[in-house]
Chains A and B, each alone.
Chain A
Amino acid sequence: MNVLTDNLSTYWEGFLGTVELTVYSSLLALVLGFVMVSFRVAPVASLRVFGTVWVTVLRNTPLTLLFFAVLLGLPRFGLVLPFKVFAVLALGCYTSSFICEALRSGINTVPTGQGEAARSLGMTFAQTLSAVVLPQAFRSVIPPIGSTLIALAKNSAIAGAFSVTELLGTYKTMSELGYNIVWTFAWIALGYLVVTLAISALFHELERTWGVAR
Chain B
Amino acid sequence: MTGATALYDVPGPRTRRRHRRYGVLATAVLLGLLAWVLYLLFSTGQFTYTKWMPFAYKGIQELLLRGLGNTLRAFGLAAAFSLVLGGALATGRLSDHRPVRWAATVVVEFFRAMPVLVMIFFIFVALKVQPLPALVAGLTLYNGSVLAEVFRSGVNAVERGQREAAFALGMRKTQVMAHVLVPQAVRAMLPAIISQLVVALKDTSLGYLITYEEFLHAGKLIASNLDYDLPFIPVVMVISPIYIGMCMLLSWFAGWVSRREQRSPKTEAVAVAAAEPGTLLPGGEPPTAPRP
Chain A residues engaging chain B, CB cutoff 8 angstroms: 41, 43-47, 50, 56-57, 59-65, 68-69, 72-73, 76-78, 94-95, 98, 101-102, 105, 107-108, 110-116, 119, 125, 128-129, 132-133, 140-141, 143-144, 146-148, 150-152, 154-158, 160-161, 168, 171, 175, 181-182, 184-185, 188-189, 192-193, 196-197, 200, 203-204, 207
Chain B residues engaging chain A, CB cutoff 8 angstroms: 1, 4-9, 11, 15, 19, 22-23, 26-27, 30, 40, 44, 46, 113-118, 121-122, 125-126, 198, 201-206, 208-209, 216, 219-220, 223, 232-233, 236, 239-240, 243-244, 247-248, 251, 276-286, 289-292
Instruction: Give the A-B pair count, Cβ closer than 8 A.
Output: 195
Q: Which residues of B sit under 8 angstroms from A144, Cβ to Cβ?
A: 283-285
Q: Which residues of A sit under 8 angstroms from B125, Cβ to Cβ?
A: 171, 175, 181, 185
Partner pick for A189 among B118, B220, B283, CB 8 A cutoff:
B118
Partner pick for A143 among B277, B284, B292, CB 8 A cutoff:
B284
Beyond A68-B216, A95-B292, A115-B7, whether A44 also contacts B23 by CB under 8 A is yes
Report yes or no: B115 in contact with A157, Cβ–Cβ below 8 A.
yes
Closest chain B CB from A108 CB (angstroms): 8
Q: Which residues of B sit under 8 angstroms from A171, Cβ to Cβ?
A: 121, 125
Determine the main DSSP class of B at the interface with A: helix
Beyond A61-B243, A105-B285, A200-B281, whether A114 also contacts B121 by CB under 8 A is no
Partner pick for A192 among B6, B115, B233, CB 8 A cutoff:
B115
Report yes or no: A64 in contact with B284, Cβ–Cβ below 8 A.
no
Q: Which residues of B sit under 8 angstroms from A114, Cβ to Cβ?
A: 6
Closest chain A CB from B168 CB (angstroms): 31
Nearest chain A residue, comparing its CB with the CB of B15: A43
Partner pick for A41 among B7, B115, B247, B276, CB 8 A cutoff:
B7
Q: Which residues of A sit under 8 angstroms from B205, Cβ to Cβ?
A: 62-65
Beyond A43-B8, A44-B23, whether A158 also contacts B281 by CB under 8 A is no
Choose among B125, B276, B278, B284 the residue with the greatest number of A CB atoms under 10 Å from its CB. Answer: B284
Report yes or no: B202 in contact with A69, Cβ–Cβ below 8 A.
no
Closest chain B CB from A156 CB (angstroms): 8
Beyond A112-B4, A152-B292, A157-B117, whether A182 also contacts B126 by CB under 8 A is yes
Report yes or no: B44 in contact with A77, Cβ–Cβ below 8 A.
yes
Nearest chain B residue, comparing its CB with the CB of A192: B115
Partner pick for B284 among A78, A140, A175, CB 8 A cutoff:
A140
Beyond A133-B6, A168-B117, whether A65 also contacts B23 by CB under 8 A is no
Nearest chain B residue, comparing its CB with the CB of A204: B281
Known: A61-B202, A73-B232, A113-B6. 14 other contacts (CB 8 A): A45-B23, A46-B23, A62-B203, A64-B206, A64-B209, A69-B236, A98-B290, A105-B286, A116-B4, A119-B9, A146-B281, A160-B117, A185-B125, A196-B113
Q: Which residues of A sit under 8 angstroms from B6, Cβ to Cβ?
A: 107, 110-116, 132-133
CA distance A107 to B118 in the complex (A): 36
Report yes or no: B118 in contact with A64, Cβ–Cβ below 8 A.
no
CA distance A4 to B123 in the complex (A): 20
Report yes or no: A189 in contact with B114, Cβ–Cβ below 8 A.
yes
Q: Which residues of A sit under 8 angstroms from B44, Cβ to Cβ?
A: 76-78
Nearest chain A residue, comparing its CB with the CB of B250: A60
Q: Which residues of B sit under 8 angstroms from A181, Cβ to Cβ?
A: 125-126
Q: Which residues of A sit under 8 angstroms from B286, Cβ to Cβ?
A: 105
